[in-house]
Amino acid sequence: MTTGAIIFAVGKHAINYVAMAAWSAARIERHLGLPTTLITDQTVDDSAFDHIIRIDAQQNDRSRWFADFEQSVPWHNLDRCDAFDLTPYDRTLLLDADYVVSSALLHRCTVDSDRFWCFQNAIAAGDSHSWDSFGRHRHPQYWATAMAFSRGSQTEFIFDSMRMVRNNWQHYRDLYHIDSLLFRNDYALSIALPLVNGHMQPDVSMLGAMINVLPEQHLEQIDEDTFDVVFGSKQRRRRCTLHQQDFHAMCKRDLGVIIAAH
């Protein structure tokens, strides 16, 4: 059975997701021993990846405000729902380009061939803020930032349901009372999983909570697997250290600076 990671890097804009994916591929190979396939609509150097799959990106005229860039940038996130059809692997680890692998945390998810895995809980680095629900009625939220799955009818139903949400986004916004106009894969996954599980919340959570480094926080790399997160007001700056700890770098500008320095 083949096992590997896939990362999407779609669209050309202020955030260089291809560079992030290339940097991540090396870390995935080092910590998890997995090959990485890039799924993209761009022509890129293939030396950093084991495979490249070219796609025609889903048309999307939406933009999203990024606090660290202090501007709205094009938001291309409609293609991840097609991951089940696109992956070349029997067992797949699907990661956002800005998910930083610094440990073997996800190894268990890649060897358990029967389960669908994702994060259900997320917390802010060094802070008490957490995310566990969405919509006005606080439906339980799952995170599409990192998912592990195998080929099979159950997984196919999950991704088919995510596509259904994507293709009928306004309907599901109204149904779940979601204020955001922007389609998010996190919401699509959070809606799809209970649908496939008989309207019950499934047990798919990975180990622990995913750590988010927020756009308003500052990320610094200390060594290969150690990062400092600086946050708080100017009058009271605080710092926490992430050592051999995976995290989701929502502070994409700082992550880009770190990657460019390599």
User: What's residue 226's pLDDT?
Assistant: 97
Q: Are 106 and 148 in contact (CB under 8 A)?
A: yes
Contacts of 108 (CB under 8 A, 6+ apart): 207
Q: Does any domain span residue 191? A: yes
Cβ distance 9 to 38 under 8 Å? Answer: yes
Put simply, whether the predicted model's pTM sits higher than 0.85 gets the answer yes
Residue 61 lies in a domain: yes
**Any domain includes 161:** yes
In a domain, 221, yes or no: no
Distance of CA 139 to the CA centre of its chain: 20
What's the CATH number where 91 sits?
A: 3.90.550
pLDDT at residue 60 in the model: 64
Q: How far apart are CA 37 and CA 79, in angstroms?
A: 15
Closest CA to 38 of 90, 79, 70: 79
Complete DSSP assignment for the chain: --EEEEEEE-S-SSS-HHHHHHHHHHHHHHHH---EEEEESS---GGG-SEEEE-PPPP---EEEETTTTEEEE---SSGGGHHHH--SSEEEEE-TTEE--SSTTHHHHH-TT--EEE--EEETTSS-EE-EETTTTEE--EEEEEEEESSHHHHHHHHHHHHHHHTHHHHHHHHT---SS--HHHHHHHHHHHHTTTS----B-SSPEEEE-TTSEEEEEETTEEEEEEE-SSSEEEEEEES--EEE--HHHHHHHHHT-
Q: 16 is in which domain, residue-wise?
A: 3-99+106-119+129-204
- pLDDT the model gives residue 262: 79
The per-residue pLDDT string of the chain (262 residues; one tens digit each, 9 = 90 and over) reads 799 999 999 877 778 899 999 999 999 999 999 999 999 998 887 789 999 999 987 766 676 666 666 666 666 788 999 999 999 999 999 999 999 999 999 999 998 778 899 999 899 998 777 888 888 888 999 999 999 999 999 999 999 999 999 999 999 999 999 998 889 999 999 999 999 998 888 888 877 889 999 998 999 999 999 999 998 877 788 899 999 999 999 999 999 999 998 7
196 occurs within a structural domain: yes
Instruction: Compute the distance between CA of residue 45 and CA of residue 33 in angstroms, rounded to an integer.
Output: 21
Domain count, the chain: 1
What count of Cα atoms within 13 Å lies in the side-chain half-sphere of residue 141? 23
Position 235 scores a pLDDT of: 72
Assess if residue 257 is contained within a domain.
no
Does 259 map to a domain? Answer: no
Flag whether 222 is in a domain: no
Cβ 107 vs Cβ 196: under 8 Å:
no
Place of tokens 């910590």: 31
The residue among 55, 83, 63 whose CA lies nearest residue 163 is 83
Contacts of 153 (CB under 8 A, 6+ apart): none
